[in-house]
Every structure is written in C-alpha cells, then in structure tokens.
C-alpha cells in the first residue's frame, strides 16, 4: 500500500482537483465519501486526511459530517472551506451564517507562518467561495491568516496537526496554492513524494488478483484508451481468465470494428469475442429523440447483449469496465450539488441483479492523462493511447434527434473526413476530442445548377486536460475551409458545415 492521503468528499466541485494536485506532487491520494466508516479509513492507513469543500451549510439539519472519531486518529487533517467550518464546529468552535457570500479573489494576510505557510510571502491573492464563516475558534486553535472579510481565513491547532483554510488552495487562481498543499503533504504529513504510475500498476495488479482469484472476467472492449488500458492491465493480472467482448452497436465510426479487431490482435493478447448487435440497437432506438431516453436505451441494450454473451460463455463472475474518475463523479449525484448529475453515462450505474456479475473497474480513480501514463507503463503504443475519447453511446449521442441508417451514414462519412484532415495537419494530437455532429436541421443549398435541401453537420473540436472543463479549439481557417469543402462535396446528404464555438461549462463536449 503506497503512502496515502485520503480526501473525504463533501460534494465540492473541486474535490477531484484536490486529489489531482496531490498526485501531481507524487503522493497517492484517494477520494472517499464523507461518511466512510473509520474502520475503512484505518485499513488504508492514511498519513493525512483532507476534508473537501461542499455546497451544504454546517448549520443545516442533516449537513454531511464525517465520523467524529476521525479527530482522534492522530493523523494530520486539512479542512478546506466547508471542511474548515466542519472541523471547527465539530471541535467546539462556532460558525455563523452570513448574508454576504465571499466569492472570487481575496487578499490573504498571513499572521503566523507556521508549517502550512512555510517559505511563503506575507500576503497572497486567494480564491474564495463560501457563505457561512467561522465566528469563534475551537479550543486549542489559532488564526494564522485573515482576509478583508474573515478573521479566520486560516486556522491551526499545531499540537494536533489540524489545519483549516477558508479559501481554495487547489484552484489555479489561488497564488502559491500548490506550495500550501505541498507544505501540508511534505512538511506536516511527511510524505516522501515518490509515488508514480508504476506503483499504481503493481498495486492495481495485486488488487485485481486478490479480488478475482481464479474466477472469470469479461470486459467490454470499445477500442478506446480506457477499455484498452483496462484490458491490458487486467490481462497482466489474470491472463486467460479475461475474455474481452466488443459490441458492434451499429453506432460506431467508419471501419471501427475492423480497427478494433486489429488493435486487439496487435496489443492485447487474449480472447476477443465480437457481438454484432447493430440491428437490435437501431430497432430499440427507432423514433426516439430525447437524449436521456436514447442514452438509457443504449445502456440497457448494451447490458442485454452482454447478458447474452455471458450466458454463451458459461460461468463468469466479473464485468470489467474502463470507467474513469470523471465518469464517476459526473454520474453519482451528491446531495445538494446540482452540478453532479449532468448526463447519465451508460457505463456507470450498476448492472441488473439477475446478471449476478460484480463490477471490476480498475481505472475508477484515475484521470485520463494518468490512464495514458498507465498504458505506456503497460507497453501500449501511442496511436492507441492518443486516440480521442469516444463515448459509450457512440454516434447515438452525435446524431441529434432520432437515429436512422441514413443519418448515421452521413455522420460517419463526414466524421472520417474531419478526422483524416486533423491527422494530416497534426492537429489531432493537440486536441482532447474532435468529431462531427449530425443536426436534424435541413438547409437550402445550391450545387451546380441544382437546389439542394440537406442536413447540417457541426464540427466540434475541443482542448481539455480531463473533460471536466473544455475550450473550443481555434483551428486554422485553411483547415476548416478544407474540411467543409470536402464534406459538402463528398458526403451525400450534407450541404452545410458549421463550427461549434462553445466551451464547457456552460456547454458540454458532446451535444447530447
């Protein structure tokens, strides 16, 4: 077990950013729900605990609280924002609600450097986002910094190694935030900072072996980075006990099935079964245009097809998936956090009980770039690892509105042109994701002497580091012009191309 910092999640939109910053400092961190039992925490033997921020008020009835015994574990604790208020109120301090919300940048004046502000300048610009504030310190605590609006912007009980920050050191807008977190990790928790993805690989392999034993696993291989890395990792752990199943759901990109078969042959030695189910998916989706309904139908049909494959395979105990951390947090709602359920990702959320399969999700704690590093450590090549993400529901969420064979054909052909031009111009590798979207909108055009009345294709290209936020990419005019010309001239059924210039948030990357 590597040296571990536990981040207890109280529903902040920044929880995953805290975990990420810690891992960037080469310290293993794991996010757990706020009410994790003490016995589970103890088993992980953490050398520090961070209490995240959160949308609730500690004064509210039913406010999320950790088990009080965490304050008797003799482990350093850092409370951030709601985490500070929680720690202070649970240890005898007082929090008062305020009509005024401190939001955005503030000037922090450090009163006492102590260990947390070691080697930092006396004043910093920091990022705040809170309503309630601490009005009275608990016994044994001191204020160590203040802002214009708060006398208790930072507090500590150095004897117990309890620290609290009212601002968010994990966000980029907080000056020296990284140093503050590093002081907690290295000076206070005494982390050694030598964790890397190799450690994770070895640890994950042991965990998979322990969990699976001599049982059998099936994995839904999509050919994307996540499921390929999951397959390679699980194969490394349990070899031929793993069977991969590739479902052709009829919502794949041009020639995708053949590409996946080739990839499997070349990089993931093991057993692959291909289920041809395009007809069934299209039948179930007929006439459905609501995005959430489409997602649910695709997810359910996927599970049904799997169920059938599993029965053909005889005794199987586990279903493995390449679910990543952003899939988990965007799909599991935390009470009081409206941002937490955005889209229902079909690959998360559990299986019907009758399938009697347990989930095996070895990448559940990782971010995309960490998965790529893991893939490198497992020997996968760059052309597999640098593939853009492709959503589980596939082109089903890229044909806006109802899906039929003609819409899919138009989208596939347009998308292949866009991707080909991006690869040729080397832009593909600078982007997080790029694809075409089929719009259920027809517009008039003129080709030769003929009037056309065809559909519109939207190009989507974004930069991002983890899909939590994304910016539209500023592709060169020349490239856009070429892609547009080629699509309109070569794809029958499309006569207009538009470019999507929306960022996430407030838009999402996919259109549905």
Of 102, 156, 168, 309, which is the active-site residue?
168
**To which residue do tokens 């502000």 refer?**
117
Nearer to ligand XMP, 252 or 509 (CB): 509
Q: What H or E segment, with its residue span, contains residue 163?
A: strand 162-165
Both tokens of 467, joined, read: 């899909």
Q: What is the nearest approach in angstroms of ligand XMP to the Cβ of residue 247?
A: 13
Q: Taking the chain, what is the end-to-end CA distance rounded to the nearest angstrom?
A: 40
Residues 159 and 182: their CA atoms lie apart, in Å, by 19
Quick one: 185 or 247, whose CB is closer to ligand XMP?
247
Q: How far is the CB of 220 from ligand XMP (least distance, A)?
A: 10
**Residues 6 or more apart whose Cβ sits within 8 Å of residue 266:** none
Give the separation between CA 417 and CA 176, rounded to whole angstroms.
45
Q: Do 396 and 251 form a contact (C-beta atoms < 8 A)?
A: yes
Active site residue 81: yes
- Closest distance of CB 324 from ligand XMP, Å: 8
| 235 catalytic per annotation | no
CA Rg, the chain, in Å? Answer: 25
Q: Is 168 a catalytic residue?
A: yes
Of residues 237, 224, 311, 292, the one with CA closest to residue 270: 237
Rounded CA-CA distance 166/137 in Å is 13
Q: Which is nearer to ligand XMP, 70 or 251 (CB)?
A: 251
Task: State how far the Cα of 507 lies from the Cα of 501, in Å rounded to an integer.
Answer: 10
Reference 146, options 171, 124, 161; nearest CA is 124
What whole-number distance in Å separates Cα of residue 164 and Cα of residue 134?
11
To ligand XMP, the closest distance from the beta carbon of 210 in angstroms equals 26
Q: Choose, from 156, 170, 413, 512, the residue flagged as catalytic.
A: 170
Taking the complex as a whole, the smallest distance from the CB of residue 279 to ligand XMP amounts, in Å, to: 21
* Closest CB to ligand XMP among residues 93, 389: 389
Residues that bind ligand XMP (CB under 6 A): 327, 342-343, 345-347, 389, 391-393, 433, 467, 504, 508-510
Give CA–CA dist 184/189, Å, rounded.
Answer: 6
**Nearest residue to 454 (alpha-carbon basis) of 509, 508, 510, 410:** 410
| CA 148 centroid distance within chain | 35
Judged by beta carbon, residue 184 or residue 367, the one nearer ligand XMP is 367
**Minimal distance, residue 372 CB to ligand XMP, in Å:** 14
Report the nearest approach of ligand XMP to the CB of residue 203 (Å).
24
With 0-12 / 13-18 / 19 or more C-beta atoms within 10 angstroms meaning exposed / middle / buried, residue 160 is middle
Contacts of 379 (CB under 8 A, 6+ apart): 232, 267
- State the number of CA atoms in the 13 A half-sphere of 306 facing the CB: 28
Closer residue to ligand XMP, CB minimum distance, 363 or 417 = 363
CB of 500 to ligand XMP, least distance (A): 12
Which residue's CB is nearer to ligand XMP, number 130 or number 345? 345
CB closer to ligand XMP, 152 vs 435: 435
Give me the active site residues, please: 81, 168, 170
């Amino acid at each position: 077990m590597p040296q571990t910092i536990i981040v207890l999640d109280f529903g902040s939109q920044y929880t995953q950013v805290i975990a990420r910053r810690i891992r960037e400092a080469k310290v293993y961190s794991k996010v757990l729900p706020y009410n994790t039992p003490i016995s589970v925490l103890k088993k992980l033997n953490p050398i520090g605990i961070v209490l995240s921020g959160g949308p609730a008020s500690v004064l509210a009835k039913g406010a999320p609280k950790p088990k009080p015994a965490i304050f008797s574990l003799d482990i350093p604790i850092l409370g951030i924002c709601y985490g500070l208020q929680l720690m202070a109120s649970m240890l005898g301090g007082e929090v008062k609600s305020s009509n005024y919300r401190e939001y955005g940048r503030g000037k922090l004046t450090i009163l006492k450097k102590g260990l947390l502000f070691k080697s930092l300048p006396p004043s910093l610009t920091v990022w705040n986002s809170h309503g309630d504030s601490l009005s009275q310190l608990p016994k044994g605590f001191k204020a160590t910094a203040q802002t214009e609006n708060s006398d208790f912007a930072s507090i500590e009980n150095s004897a117990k190694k309890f620290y609290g920050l009212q601002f968010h050191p994990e966000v980029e807008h907080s000056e020296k935030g990284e140093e503050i977190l590093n002081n907690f990790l290295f000076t206070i928790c005494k982390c050694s900072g030598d964790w890397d993805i190799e450690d994770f690989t070895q640890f994950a392999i042991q965990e998979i072996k322990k969990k699976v034993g001599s049982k059998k696993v099936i994995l839904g291989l999509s050919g994307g980075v996540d499921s390929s890395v999951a397959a390679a990792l699980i194969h490394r752990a349990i070899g031929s006990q793993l069977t991969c199943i590739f479902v052709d759901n009829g919502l794949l990109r041009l020639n995708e099935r053949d590409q996946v078969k080739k990839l499997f042959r070349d990089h993931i030695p093991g057993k692959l079964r291909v289920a041809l189910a395009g007809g069934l998916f299209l039948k179930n989706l007929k006439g459905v245009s609501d995005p959430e309904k489409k997602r649910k139908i695709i997810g359910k049909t996927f599970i049904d097809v799997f169920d059938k494959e599993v029965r053909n395979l005889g005794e199987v105990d586990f279903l493995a998936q390449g679910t990543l951390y952003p899939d988990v947090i965007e799909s599991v709602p935390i009470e009081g956090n409206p941002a937490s359920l955005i889209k229902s990702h079909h690959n998360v959320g559990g299986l019907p009980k009758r399938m009697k399969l347990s989930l095996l999700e070895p990448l559940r704690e990782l971010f995309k770039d960490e998965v790529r590093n893991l893939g490198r450590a497992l020997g996968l090549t760059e052309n597999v690892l640098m593939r853009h993400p492709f959503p589980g529901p596939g082109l089903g969420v890229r044909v806006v509105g109802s899906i039929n064979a003609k819409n899919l054909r138009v989208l596939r052909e347009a998308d292949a042109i866009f991707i080909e031009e991006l690869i040729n111009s080397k832009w593909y590798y600078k982007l997080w994701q790029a694809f075409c979207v089929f719009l259920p909108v027809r517009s008039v055009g003129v080709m030769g002497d003929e009037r056309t009345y065809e559909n519109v294709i939207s190009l989507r290209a974004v930069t991002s580091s983890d899909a939590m936020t994304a910016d539209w990419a500023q592709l060169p005019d020349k490239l856009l012009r070429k892609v547009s010309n080629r699509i309109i001239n070569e794809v029958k059924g499309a006569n207009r191309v538009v470019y999507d210039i929306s960022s996430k948030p407030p838009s999402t990357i996919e259109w549905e």
